[in-house]
Amino acid sequence: MSLQEPSQGGPASSSNSLDMNGRCICPSLSYSPASSPQSSPRMPRRPTVESHHVSITGLQDCVQLNQYTLKDEIGKGSYGVVKLAYNENDNTYYAMKVLSKKKLIRQAGFPRRPPPRGA
């Protein structure tokens, strides 16, 4: 028996249908054995921690930015770089995008600020 031939009472019964690849789509199940176009549930995000004071320390091989230790560069893009960042508070590694304000302004097409008058 193939998936195209529905059987009595099986997962591919008459109330179910097949997708374009011949996989069974079972709407009566709380889960679907086939990939679903809907996204899977995500873990809730932790609230963003705002800081009004920034502490930057230059060490021998890395930069300390508040609780993050910036390590190696792991990527590069049009507007800046991505660095490996270690959070000392929760002992977790993160990817931190470091944007260049100069590149952002240049890409957006903003003209340079004119010199002050009377100078």
| 76 annotated as ligand-binding | no
Please state, in angstroms and rounded to a whole number, the distance separating the CA atoms of residues 28 and 51.
49
What is the 3-class SS of 28-82, one letter each residue?
CCCCCCCCCCCCCCCCCCCCCCCCCCCCEEECCCCEEECCEEEEEEEEECCCEEE
- Are 16 and 10 contacting, i.e. CB atoms less than 8 angstroms apart? no
Annotated binding site: 97
Annotated binding site for ATP: 97
